[in-house]
């Protein structure tokens, strides 16, 4: 899924914690941003494989090159889960931030990327991506849900 879907999903879950006064608005945005930054492993593995650093090439080729690291694997999920549980006892806010950011990201990555797609150019940076109608629908539902929950 694309960055906005990762951000919106984590932000929606974080909004529930914000409404319960467990996190601040500041931490809510950190959760959303971290959910996007988890995909930095695409860039790191692209650099490892291609021996050059290019956000544009990484973005445009992300579906053709297996650029996932261990954090997207079962071992990574188990490791982050254990880390989050341990942190929960000592630093609950950090555990909440890591837990929501990471597990919402992994959950969203499991949604199939089914056609039909529309091709989009992002901000004239020559960053090409196929955006599925399913993802557009999910993003709209997430946005409406955030608005509704935020103002309850």
Q: Model confidence over 91-104: pLDDT tens digits?
A: 999 999 999 999 99
pLDDT at 6: 94
Average pLDDT, the chain: 83
Instruction: Give the lowest-confidence range in 23-27, 48-52, 58-62.
Output: 58-62
- Residues ≥6 apart with Cβ < 8 Å to 128: 59, 60, 119, 120, 121, 122
| Beta carbons of 38 and 101 less than 8 angstroms apart | yes
Residue 129 pLDDT level (bands cut at 50, 70, 90): low
Cα dihedral sign, 26-14-36-144: negative
Q: What is the mean pLDDT of residues 23-50?
A: 85
DSSP states along 27-63: HHHHHHHHHHHTTHHHHHHHHHHHSS--HHHHHHHTT
- State how many domains the chain has: 1
Q: What is the mean pLDDT of residues 6-29?
A: 96
């Amino acid at each position: 899924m694309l960055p906005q879907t990762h951000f919106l999903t984590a932000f929606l879950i974080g909004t529930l914690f914000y409404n319960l006064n467990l996190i601040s608005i500041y931490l809510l945005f950190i959760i959303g941003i971290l959910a996007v930054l988890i995909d930095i492993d695409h860039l790191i593995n692209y650099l490892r494989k291609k021996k050059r650093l290019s956000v544009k090439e990484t973005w445009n080729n992300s579906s053709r090159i297996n650029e996932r690291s261990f954090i997207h694997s079962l071992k990574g999920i188990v490791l982050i889960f254990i880390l989050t549980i341990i942190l929960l006892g000592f630093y609950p806010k950090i555990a909440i931030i890591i837990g929501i950011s990471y597990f919402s990201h992994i959950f969203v990555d499991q949604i199939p990327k089914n056609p039909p797609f529309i091709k989009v150019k992002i901000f004239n940076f020559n960053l090409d991506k196929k955006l599925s109608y399913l993802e557009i629908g999910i993003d709209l539902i997430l946005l409406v849900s955030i608005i509704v929950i935020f103002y309850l």
